[in-house]
Amino acid sequence: MLFKINMTTQHPDKGSDHRSHLNRLKRVEGQLKAIITNVEDEKYCIGIINQVKSIRAALRSFEMEVVKGHLNGCVKNALLDSEQDVQEKIDEIISVFEKANKI
């Protein structure tokens, strides 16, 4: 199930986390390409299932890192900066978790 995400707000800091995130996603991309090849080559199902489980674990770990970064960056800054809407940031996080639990 796919759902629409508001991706209009840019992350203020593209430091080492950004590079690390890209590296992790490229690794997952490589794993997914390997699964596609294995399916095309009609490889053993259990091997494919194990590869899928690996990708799911990697994506869950990646998701948690992004959540941590968001909480420690965007949400923390919203709490410290009275100009920003703190409730909006809290609602964003709640919405993400509500949508994730529907999947």
Q: Which residue has the higher pLDDT, 3 or 85?
A: 85
Instruction: Please say if the pLDDT value at position 5 is more than 60.
Output: no
Return the pLDDT at 52: 98
Encode the chain in three state secondary structure.
CCCCCCCCCCCCCCCHHHHHHHHHHHHHHHHHHHHHHHHHCCCCHHHHHHHHHHHHHHHHHHHHHHHHHHHHHHHHHHHHCCCCCHHHHHHHHHHHHHHHHHC
Count: domains in the chain: 1
Return the pLDDT at 82: 66
In a domain, 83, yes or no: yes
pTM recorded for the entire structure: 0.73
In a domain, 10, yes or no: no
Q: Which residue has the higher pLDDT, 69 or 85?
A: 69
In a domain, 2, yes or no: no
Residues 57, 77: Cα–Cα separation, whole Å: 29
Residues 46, 54: Cα–Cα separation, whole Å: 12
Residue 13: pLDDT band with limits 50, 70, 90: low
45-70 and 16-40 helices, crossing angle to 10°: 160
Residue range 38-45: mean pLDDT, rounded: 97
Domain membership of residue 64 as a residue range: 18-102
Residues 24, 92: Cα–Cα separation, whole Å: 24
Return the pLDDT at 91: 87
